[in-house]
Amino acid sequence: ASGRQLAEIAKADGFDVSHSTLNKIRKGTYTSEPTVATLRAIAHLARVREDKVLYSIKDPKGVEDAVVE
């Protein structure tokens, strides 16, 4: 899905993230520090538990158990 489509899905589910932010993150050109709101939206889109994403900022080793089934 495109960044625009992902942003629309996130918005429909109550999250706020811009398509340009998502595109930059996907391309590896995002140079800012993401906000908690952006991280929450990405976690939702990736079907990863939000607490695992926020925890992984401090401990990146814990990410492998984060996927929600």
pLDDT of residue 69: 47
Question: Of residues 11 and 52, which shows the higher confidence score?
Answer: 11
Please tell me the number of Cα atoms within 13 Å of 10 on its side-chain side. 25
- pLDDT at 18 exceeding the cut of 90: yes
Q: Which two tokens stand for residue 59?
A: 């401990």
Angle at 38 (CA atoms; ends 13, 68), nearest 5 degrees: 60
- pLDDT tens figures, 25-34: 999 999 988 8
pLDDT of residue 1: 86
pLDDT of residue 26: 92
pLDDT of residue 60: 52
pLDDT of residue 17: 95
Closest C-alpha to 44, from 7, 3, 2: 7
